[in-house]
Each structure stands twice: as structure tokens, then as C-alpha cells.
A and B are shown apart, each in its own frame.
Chain A
Amino acid sequence: MNDSFLFAVLLLAPIFGFLFNGLRFKNKNYKLAGAVASVAIGVSFICSVVLVIKLVAMPEASRAIHVHFYNWIEVAGFNANAAFVVDQISAIMILVITGVGLLIHIFSIGYMSHDDRPSKYFAYLNLFIFNMLLLVLGDNLLIMFVGWEGVGLCSYLLIGFWFTDQEKAAAGMKAFIVNRIGDAGFLLGIFFLYVQFSTIEFSSLNTLATDLAASGPLGWSHPLVLACICLFVGACGKSAQIPLYVWLPDAMAGPTPVSALIHAATMVTAGVYMIVRLSFVYMAAPQVMTIIAVVGGLTAFFAATIGMTQWDIKKILAYSTVSQLGYMFLGVGVGAFMPAMFHLMTHAFFKALMFLGSGSVIHAMGEEQDIRKMGALKKAMPITSATFTLGWLAIIGVPGFSGFFSKDEILWFTYASTQGSKWLWVVGVLGAGMTAFYMTRLMCLVFWGKSRVPEGTHPHESPASMTFPLIVLGVLSVVGGWIGIPHVISAILPGHPPNILGHWLEPALATANLITTSAVVEWSLMGISVSVVAISGYFAYTAYIVKTDIPEKCVKAFPRLHGLVLNKYLIDELYFGRIINPLIDISKGLWVYVDVNFVDKLTYIASDFVKSIGRLFGSLQNGNLQQYAMYIAIGVVVMLSFILMG
């Protein structure tokens, strides 16, 4: 089949679904809406698979299919074409997006069955998929930016989907505005790159940046370095890194499948994807990579600490997402682009699974999200529980599950890369330990232990349309990691399974140099991290199942620290108190004091000046006849004196 046609179908199928559902947005037939939407994404998925098969058939060195539709913006040398490319990196992304997206669409049919406006919901979801595809397929930065803003918009619409709730609407707005801050950074990054290289196409950028880097290290003020910083700000906004992560936990106000799709599997990883796309550019600015690694590590750590104290099932998963995204950034920051992509993919599987699982739980509990009111759901919801367990094993990094391979690869690079550092590795391992703690805590409180389900709620297993995606994702969470088994491990496995993913991505990515490649070191590091995870998981199990008074004691021991962490380090309050409220005050001041009372007053002063002159001359016309006669006399005198004098 023709490439352009494939691309067009891939991109336009979701748009068709969007228009179909969007134009009949008042319709309440959730089955029809969901079916159309799912079929649209299914078509996209098939196209993606066909494209990837085509890609595999191509020679290794030139695996990329470029398609050029039309010139979008073309001004004086600046070219932003509506051009798309699928290569090794975007191939993974489109498979994840359409694949996971399809599963989540199917899940949504069941989940949204009781909602008032399912058509609108599916329309937004399809629009999101379209934008996400634009983001990953764009051949240049601007098309990527279009998708970038588009997914932000869809996220806004979907977070605020139940807009009659003031808080949910506010959460949507917050997400959009924080994303906008990132977008502003992204725009500036584009400008810097364009000014430097006169192009915004990825392939040319990567080549040119490599050439530039070859001529020696670049200073902080070099446009390329500044561009990398600006783009990273954009990535921070979209991928919820410190300091712009605040929107993601609030974004859980949206329907749970949305959280799974947008705020776990796809959109939030866009930042990682973008940096991976520009891996060669970033390699030319090592100082920025250090910043990214530090920010990523800190995010992974702090989000994990917050995750340990939350009671809302979705909030825990949200902070877990932030933390895992931190890992990905840690990965790209130390030059581990391949592991970052790998983690992105496995994370998409297991986090989507867990969100959908939580959705299933919430659905079953009648919109209850507090884990203190759950417990022992294993019996009521066996499938959900089983699949969730798989996700849990994957995320905490139990050897053999997908999360283990990807996370461990990142940690290994953190330790061994020239960009990395041992301290970052320590932070990463601590984060991994905490991940194990809070995820085990979640499992204990929700599925195991004693039931604390309130009277009147009868949890039940979800319908097949919801469990089917769970099962598929559960399987993927386990086997998803097997395509990227690191060399050390594969060396001892029977049949030496190859690192398919690493091999696949290698031509498209920059790679960092490793300081040491000793297998012994790698094994021991792996051992340390696995044992940390095991200990902390066991501790969580003890604390929440065996001796349930331990958490209380810990809280009592460190009340202020716990309070701080429970309130998310008061970051939201800080932003409101220090940035947003002052800004509003300044604006009010500007309006009242500058606009109304200064600038406008100036015009009044000018007009009053004119008026007072008028009044001055008006006072001459006081109606007194004798005064008028005097003016005549004065006039005669003046005229006569002129005549006589000259």
C-alpha cells in the first residue's frame, strides 16, 4: 500500500471518529459511540502495524518512512511542512499509542456506560489519539508542537470532562496552563534551534548538532544549549517534572481511563520522547543533560515520598507516574536513551494496566477512591486483582517482569555512564525502594488484608469489555520486558535471547559512553537494587497486613515530616502564595492604578487642559454687554495702533 495513504488513514481515522462522535455529541448511545471510536483507533492500530512491518523489511541503516503532505507554514526560508516520519523511535510510540489506546477505548465502553455524554467523551479521546500521533509522527519540531499543544488541549477537555464540578474544571485549567508554561519553553527552544541551524527537521537537526558538537564543547550561552534548556522546560511541563509536576496529581479529576491513557501511558511521556528524538542535539549539550538527570532523579525521589503517604488510589498512581517519569528523565539525562524508551514502553503497559485496574476498582466501589475504605477486594474482583498484581510486580521491578529490565537498565547507565554519577544511582535505588513500598501498600490496602468496604457497597467484577484490556495489558506487563533483555542477563539465559529493542533502536539514537562495563559490577548493582526493593516490599507487607500499627507509630514519630509529605511539600500552596496570587494582585493593581487611574487619567488631564482653556475664553463671553463693548473698543484701539505704527 501507498505510504501516504497509510499515514493518512492512520491519522485521519481518529479524526473521523472525533467528527462522528463530536457532531452527535448529545447522543447517549454509549455502545455506538464507543464502537465507532474503538474501530477508528483499531484502524489506526492496523495501519501502525503495517507501517512497522514495512519498516522491519527495510535495510537497517535507513529505516524511516517519510511522508510529505503539504507545506504548512512556509515563510522566507522557514519551512514547517505537514510531513511525517515513522522510524525506529516513532514506530514504538505509534504501536504503544494505538495499541494501548485501543485497549483503553474498549475499557471505556464499559466504564462510561453510566455517563450522560459518552459521545463527547469518545470524541475527545479520539481527538487525543490524533494529536498524540501528530506529536510522535511529526517530521519537524513544529508538527510535534502541534501535537504537543493538541494533547494538552485534549487533556484539558478530558480532565474537566465532568465540568459541573468546580474543582475538576479548575484541575483541567491548571493542567492546561502549566502545560502552556512548558509550551512557551518549547516554542523558545524551536526558535533557538531555528536561529542556530535554520531548520527544524529532526534528521537535519540531529546531524547538524553532531557536527557542531564535534568542534568542541559548547558554552552555556550557546543557542544550542539554551535551546536544550528551553525544550527541557517544555518537557518538564508535559511530563510533569519538578517544578511543573503539580498539574498531574490534580489531573486525576478526569475519568480513570483518561488517566490511564493520557496521564500514564502516552501524553506524559511526550517529554521523554521529544528528548529521545533530539538525542543527538542533547548529546551536544552535556551540561543540560546533567540538569535533566538531576531533575529526573529528584522528581523520582520526591514523587515517591509523596506517593507513600497518599490515601487516594488515583493520587498514589499519579505520584507513581511522576516518579517513573523521573526515572525516564534520569535515563535520558545520563544518555541512556534506549533504556528510557524501553522504560517508557513498559511503563505504558503496567501503568495503564494499574490505572485501568484502579478504574475497575473505582467503578466497582461506586466512585470511591479512598483506599482506606477498600480491602480484600481480591475475592470480589479476581481478574482485576490478578492483573493488578502483575502490574505491581512489574513496577516494583521483580526480576523477570518488564519493569525490572527497563528500570535496572536505567540504573545501570546512571552508575556507569560518563554522564551519570553514583549519587544519582543512590537516589534512583532509594526511589525504587520507595516505589516498592507504596505499591505494596496499595496492594495490601486494596486487594489483600481485611475488608473495610463500607456497608451498602457491593464490589463486583467488571464486565468483559473492561477485563479484557486488563488481561491483555497484564500479559504485556510481563512479557513486554523480554524484548529488551540486557546483555549481562541474556548471557546466562538459555538460548541467549537477543536485546531486540536495543538492536532496533541503536541506529536512531545517540548513546552515552560507559565508564565501566564490568559484568560483576553490573550484577552486584542489580543485586543491591533488587534486595532494596525486596526489603521495602516486605516491610510494607508487614506494616499493612501483619502489624497494622506500624504506620501509626511512624507517623507519630515524625509528625511534621509526615504532614509535610502528606501535603505534597506544600508546593501548590507555595505556587499560589508566591506566584499566582501576587500575579493577580499585580494585575489588579495594574488595572486600578495604572490603567484606570494613570493612563486613562492622563487622557482626562489632557482633555481637562483643553477644557480649561475653553473655559478661560468662555469666561470672556460673560453676557455683559459693556464687556463686549469694551472688546470692541480694545479691538479698535489695537487695529488703530497697528495702522498708525506701521
Chain B
Amino acid sequence: MNLLSVITFLPILFALVVWFLPNEKHVRPVSLGLSIVHFFVSIVLLVKFDISSAGLQFVEQTPWVQSAGISYFLGVDGISIWLVILTTFLTPITILGGWTSIQKKTRGFHVSIFVLATTMIGTFLAMDAILFYVFFEASLIPMYFIIGIWGGKNKIYAATKFFIYTMLGSVFMLLSIITLMVLAEGQLGQMSSSLLDFYKLDLNFLPGQFLSTQTLLFFGFALAFAIKVPLFPFHTWLPDAHVQAPTPGSVILAGVMLKMGTYGLLRFCLPLFPEATAEWGWIFLALGVVGIIYGALVAMVQPDMKKLVAYSSVSHMGYVVMGLFTLNAHGLTGSIFQMLSHGISTGALFLLVGMIYERTHSREIKEYGGLAVVAPIFSIFFIIVTLSSIAVPMTNGFVGEYLILMGTFMVNKAYAILAVTGVVLGACYMLWMVKKVFFGPPGKLIKDFQGKNLDLNKTEVMTLLPVVVLIFWMGLFPGHFIKYTKASVDHMINAKQGYYLKIEGRQKKVATIKYKSTRVTR
């Protein structure tokens, strides 16, 4: 069986295992073990990956709905590989994050987490638009349950908002995919939903006009992904979802699910609609800049820690979108890097906020104060993650932000200068929170806990340690990560018009033969 299928569907198998586990007490350790196994399986992918190639690797293609040209088509390249690893890396972390915070229906929770992992990995690996859509939408279901069952006070509202908002965008995407499939039938003589075929299409584009095929399709896709990212002004579901979601849910949501949006932009919008991207990209650059500043400003006045982190996500994802639409290698590399580092550092922030919430049952910033005295280890971790979040050099946040800003600067100086203020504002809101929560005299909450041990236990330290290691690894040796994406990014820049993807490796022959045979049978 192909490696990618194994990586994608292993979690489903795990979910079944967990579901039929006789003793509910064993659910947590077994899930943790299985997710770590999954992580190591995905590391195999990293080891076997050929970094010199920009093409699709480990390709697997089997016809699914022949009459419509829909196939089960998985492949990985430099753009998606890290996102897959990020998912498998964060899954054990989330399971650890829910170790004590998830008290009811543990079995169902872990099943949800595993199903979610499958759908997310599937989204990143699917090279068939319909398959992508299926995974993209399916990921909503477990997340809906995670928020709706294990969430906070207002969970149903948040879950519904999250679901419907994202669903709304996806509808336009589905419409665009179907349009592309029909166009493929006209131009290639056969209906197909394979991305590789979509790349071959010649889409009509009229400069300056909104109602041309390419522009409409571009916005159809872009809207779906902009909501998922979320880009200003489609971001309002995010604070609600984050505040209500349980800690592991927030980690996955911020860590991976938001990246599905930016990944989609990178996989669909940029290569499929090059002219429209060039023409209308400024809107996204501008929205990215607005998102950066707006998210930072609004984060600055949040009374709730989780909300603050949620708005900081809006700000950080603004950077990613801005980087994507710079359309140069610096911006793209920076964006991919920033996706990873945001996944790690914001995920860690949510974990940390969750950990302290478990102890004090409050997230109100003003009720804290002087936490560093009673929880020194926690403070150290929190400050390290904060530094990574505000992009201090030598942590992961810096590399991505720097490259994005430089890429933007090379395209448009005004946007870059505006976006740089985000660097300052980012420091403002994060340090403001750190000051209010950790420093100063003991606050209302901390007084109640005086003398008790509020600090992290060993499990929590073990949860955070890999994250911190990665924060510094990515900050000090970004080359280890960038080298995987380099070929793909360069290819995307060089082949901007007429983007294509080659299929690499031994599967190549099989795939083409299969492809031809389907064509003949039609």
C-alpha cells in the first residue's frame, strides 16, 4: 500500500481501535501511543522525500467516479509536506493537551481527533479537486463535535457559527470546481477533476473586468479559503470558535485548520489563475495588511486571554496571506514557514492558556497578576512561546515574518511599511498580556492560590518541551525546513504562467497508463 494512503488513513484505523477499546481508562495512553506511531510513520515520508524535485511524489491514483473523471489521487510536494508533518506532530500534542482538560466522553473525543487528523492530512495530500473538497468539508464534522461537545459555555453557538461560516465559503469553491471540471471536458476532451488537468486549462481572462471566467473562479476559490484563513473581514467566527473550543480543539484549529485556507490559496488560486492573481492580488495584499494591523489592535484591548490569542492569529495569518500574494520566492517561502511556525507557537499559546485555565478557571487577564511567582516554569514556557509569537530572532516566528516582509517590500513598499507596524503592535499586545498576567503584585486570582503549587506537572512539561525545541530549531536552522520547500517554491515562481506539476518516481508510468486507459474507455 502506498505511503500516503497509509499516512492518511492510519488515524481512521486508530479511531476504530480506540472506539472498540474495552476499557475506557486505556483510551488516553493508547491514543497517545498510536498518534506518536503515526508521527513516526510520517517522518518516513520526510526521509524518503526527494528535495531536489518540484514534482509530485509518492503519487497514488485510482479512478473513483470514472464518468466524471474523479479519481482518488494523492501526492505530496514541497508545499504540502510540512503541513502533513505539522498535523502529525500536533496530534500527540493535542492528545496530551486534553489529558486532563477533557473529562467526559474521552473515547469520542479521541475518535474525533483521529478522524480530524485524517481529514486534514487528506486535505493537504489530495491532488484531486473533488477529493480535496471532500476532505476539506469532512474536517468540519469532527471539529464541530469537538467544539460542540467539549466546548465552553456558549459552545453550540460557536460550533454552528464556525460550521456554517466555513460551509458558506466552500459552496462557492464547489461551484468553481464543477465549473473547472466542465471546462476540462471542453478543453481536454474529458471531464476531470484532477488538479494536474486543471493546471492545463486555458481560462479566459479579461483584464480589469470582474465578470471573466478566470476572475470569477479565482474569487470563488479565494472566498472559501479567505474564510478559512480567516482573512479580515471574514474573521469573526474565529474568536468565538477559539474561546468556546476546548484546549485541544483550539490547538488543532489554530495549528492546522487555519493553514488549510492558506494552503488552498497556494495550491489552487495562485497556480490556477495566474492572471487573475496578478490583477486582483493587491486586494489580498491589502486585506493581509489590514488584517495584521487590525488583528493586532483589536488583540490589544481583549480582556480574555484566549480571545487575545485568537485575534493574534488573525494578525499572524494576515502575514501569511500577504506573503502568498507577493508572488516572489521570499514571500512564498516565508509564508510556508510562517504557517508552520504559527501552527507551533499559537498552538503552544493555546495549550498554555488552557493549562492555566484548568487551574484557575478564569481567562480574564485583569484577574491575574504575579503568576510568575507561583508558577515559574509555566512562566518560562509562556515567555518563550510569546517571544516566538512576536517574532524575536532565533525563534521560529522571526524567519517567516522577516521573509514575508522582505517579499512584500520588494513588491510594494507601502504595504511593507504598514505591515512592519504589526511587528511593534505584536510586541505591544503580547507583552501587555505577559505583564498583566505574570508580573506585578499578585492579582485577585493568584491570591486565592497563594501557597498552592500552580506550576506545571511533568506531563505538561513533556507536552511543551517538543514545541519549545522546535521553536528554537526552526529559528536557528530554518534551512533544514526551507530546503524541502525550495524546489516547489522556485518552480511556482518560475512557471507562474502555465504552472504544471510533474509526477515523480516509479509510480509515474502506472499513473499515466491508468490515466490513458480511462480516457480510452470513455
Partner of A173, one of B370, B398, B435, B476: B435
Residues A590 and B440 in contact, CB atoms below 8 Å apart = no
How far is the CB of A25 from the nearest CB of chain B, in Å?
A: 7
A177-B428, A600-B236 are known contacts. Are A149 and B392 too (CB-CB below 8 A)? yes
Residues B393 and A188 in contact, CB atoms below 8 Å apart = no
Q: Pick from B122-130, B297-305, B457-465 the stretch touching chain A.
A: B297-305
Residues A73 and B424 in contact, CB atoms below 8 Å apart = no
A173-B431, A595-B298, A603-B165 are known contacts. Are A73 and B392 too (CB-CB below 8 A)? no
A181 and B423 alpha carbons, distance in the complex (Å): 8
Q: Which among A26, A169, A172 has the greatest number of chain B C-beta atoms within 10 A?
A: A169
A586 an interface residue at 8 Å Cβ cutoff?
yes
A172 and B45 alpha carbons, distance in the complex (Å): 45
Chain B residues contacting A163 (CB-CB under 8 Å) are 372, 438-440
**Complex: chain B residue closest to A191, CB-CB:** B409
Chain B residues contacting A190 (CB-CB under 8 Å) are 406
Chain A residues contacting B482 (CB-CB under 8 Å) are 73-75
How far is the CB of B363 from the nearest CB of chain A, in Å?
A: 16
B449 an interface residue at 8 Å Cβ cutoff?
no
Q: Mark A577-598, 1 if CB is under 8 A from B, else 0.
A: 0000001101110110011000
Chain B residues contacting A169 (CB-CB under 8 Å) are 435, 439-440
B420 an interface residue at 8 Å Cβ cutoff?
yes
Residues A184 and B440 in contact, CB atoms below 8 Å apart = no
Chain B residues contacting A187 (CB-CB under 8 Å) are 402, 405, 420, 423
How many pairs of A and B residues are in contact by the CB < 8 Å rule? Answer: 140
How far is the CB of A538 from the nearest CB of chain B, in Å?
A: 46
A475 an interface residue at 8 Å Cβ cutoff?
no
Chain B residues contacting A78 (CB-CB under 8 Å) are 330, 403, 406
Residues A590 and B330 in contact, CB atoms below 8 Å apart = no
Residues B406 and A194 in contact, CB atoms below 8 Å apart = yes
Q: Which among A180, A188, A599, A607 has the greatest number of chain B C-beta atoms within 10 A?
A: A180
How far is the CB of B226 from the nearest CB of chain A, in Å?
A: 13
A619 an interface residue at 8 Å Cβ cutoff?
no
How far is the CB of B242 from the nearest CB of chain A, in Å?
A: 14
A145 an interface residue at 8 Å Cβ cutoff?
yes
A166 an interface residue at 8 Å Cβ cutoff?
yes
A173-B435, A591-B301 are known contacts. Are A180 and B427 too (CB-CB below 8 A)? yes
Partner of A72, one of B405, B424, B442, B479: B479
**Complex: chain A residue closest to B235, CB-CB:** A599
A431 an interface residue at 8 Å Cβ cutoff?
no
A73-B479, A163-B372, A587-B301 are known contacts. Are A150 and B431 too (CB-CB below 8 A)? no
A146-B393, A163-B440 are known contacts. Are A195 and B435 too (CB-CB below 8 A)? no
A-facing residues in B408-441 (Cβ within 8 Å): 409-410, 416-417, 420-421, 423-424, 427-428, 431-432, 434-435, 438-441
Residues A177 and B427 in contact, CB atoms below 8 Å apart = yes
How far is the CB of A265 from the nearest CB of chain B, in Å?
A: 22
Q: Mark B283-302, 1 if CB is under 8 A from A, else 0.
A: 00000000000100110111
A170 an interface residue at 8 Å Cβ cutoff?
yes
Chain A residues contacting B392 (CB-CB under 8 Å) are 149-150, 153
Partner of B297, one of A73, A166, A583, A602: A583
How far is the CB of A335 from the nearest CB of chain B, in Å?
A: 29
A15 and B345 alpha carbons, distance in the complex (Å): 23
Range of interface residues on A (Cβ < 8 Å): 35 or more
A183 an interface residue at 8 Å Cβ cutoff?
yes
Chain A residues contacting B232 (CB-CB under 8 Å) are 599
How far is the CB of B4 from the nearest CB of chain A, in Å?
A: 27
B117 an interface residue at 8 Å Cβ cutoff?
no
Q: Mark B301-336, 1 if CB is under 8 A from A, else 0.
A: 110000000000000000000000000111001100
Q: Which among B233, B235, B301 has the greatest number of chain A C-beta atoms within 10 A?
A: B301
A153-B392, A184-B420, A187-B423 are known contacts. Are A73 and B409 too (CB-CB below 8 A)? no
Chain B residues contacting A180 (CB-CB under 8 Å) are 423-424, 427
A455 an interface residue at 8 Å Cβ cutoff?
no
A645 an interface residue at 8 Å Cβ cutoff?
no
How far is the CB of B337 from the nearest CB of chain A, in Å?
A: 9
**Complex: chain A residue closest to B406, CB-CB:** A191
How far is the CB of B163 from the nearest CB of chain A, in Å?
A: 12
Residues A177 and B479 in contact, CB atoms below 8 Å apart = no
A72 and B394 alpha carbons, distance in the complex (Å): 10
A607 and B428 alpha carbons, distance in the complex (Å): 35
B50 an interface residue at 8 Å Cβ cutoff?
no
A391 an interface residue at 8 Å Cβ cutoff?
no
Q: Mark A147-160, 1 if CB is under 8 A from B, else 0.
A: 00110010010001
A626 an interface residue at 8 Å Cβ cutoff?
no
A70-B479, A72-B478, A164-B370 are known contacts. Are A599 and B236 too (CB-CB below 8 A)? yes
A76 an interface residue at 8 Å Cβ cutoff?
yes
B270 an interface residue at 8 Å Cβ cutoff?
no
A73-B482, A188-B409 are known contacts. Are A177 and B431 too (CB-CB below 8 A)? yes
How far is the CB of A220 from the nearest CB of chain B, in Å?
A: 15
B-facing residues in A580-639 (Cβ within 8 Å): 583-584, 586-588, 590-591, 594-595, 599-600, 602-603, 607
A520 and B158 alpha carbons, distance in the complex (Å): 81
A-facing residues in B353-370 (Cβ within 8 Å): 370
Partner of B440, one of A70, A165, A584, A600: A165
A510 and B431 alpha carbons, distance in the complex (Å): 40
Chain B residues contacting A413 (CB-CB under 8 Å) are none
Residues A164 and B478 in contact, CB atoms below 8 Å apart = no
Q: Mark B460-487, 1 if CB is under 8 A from A, else 0.
A: 0000000000000000111100100010
A499 and B478 alpha carbons, distance in the complex (Å): 45
Residues B387 and A173 in contact, CB atoms below 8 Å apart = no
**Complex: chain A residue closest to B478, CB-CB:** A73
Chain B residues contacting A590 (CB-CB under 8 Å) are 294, 297-298
Q: Which among B372, B376, B431, B493 has the greatest number of chain A C-beta atoms within 10 A?
A: B431
Chain A residues contacting B185 (CB-CB under 8 Å) are none
Residues B297 and A75 in contact, CB atoms below 8 Å apart = no
B-facing residues in A122-174 (Cβ within 8 Å): 142, 145-146, 149-150, 153, 156, 160, 163-166, 169-170, 172-173
A2 an interface residue at 8 Å Cβ cutoff?
no
Residues A584 and B300 in contact, CB atoms below 8 Å apart = yes
Residues B236 and A164 in contact, CB atoms below 8 Å apart = no
Partner of A195, one of B329, B380, B409, B489: B409
**Complex: chain A residue closest to B424, CB-CB:** A180
* Other A-B pairs, 17, CB within 8 Å; known A70-B479, A73-B402, A590-B294: A72-B479, A75-B334, A76-B329, A76-B333, A150-B393, A164-B439, A177-B427, A180-B423, A180-B427, A181-B424, A187-B405, A587-B301, A591-B297, A591-B298, A599-B236, A603-B161, A603-B165
Of all A-B residue pairs in the complex, the 6 with the closest CB atoms, nearest first, are A76-B329, A169-B439, A146-B393, A163-B439, A191-B409, A166-B440
Q: Name A's B-contacting residues (CB within 8 A).
A: 25-26, 70-76, 78, 142, 145-146, 149-150, 153, 156, 160, 163-166, 169-170, 172-173, 176-177, 180-181, 183-184, 187-188, 190-192, 194-195, 583-584, 586-588, 590-591, 594-595, 599-600, 602-603, 607
Q: Name B's A-contacting residues (CB within 8 A).
A: 161, 164-165, 232-233, 235-237, 294, 297-298, 300-302, 328-330, 333-334, 370, 372-373, 376, 380, 387, 392-394, 398-399, 402-403, 405-406, 409-410, 416-417, 420-421, 423-424, 427-428, 431-432, 434-435, 438-442, 476-479, 482, 486, 489-490, 493
Please name 23 pairs of A and B residues whose Cβ atoms are closer than 8 Å in the assembled complex, sorted by A. A73-B403, A75-B329, A146-B393, A146-B398, A163-B438, A164-B370, A164-B439, A169-B440, A180-B424, A183-B424, A187-B420, A188-B416, A190-B406, A191-B406, A583-B297, A583-B300, A586-B297, A587-B300, A591-B297, A591-B298, A599-B235, A603-B161, A607-B164
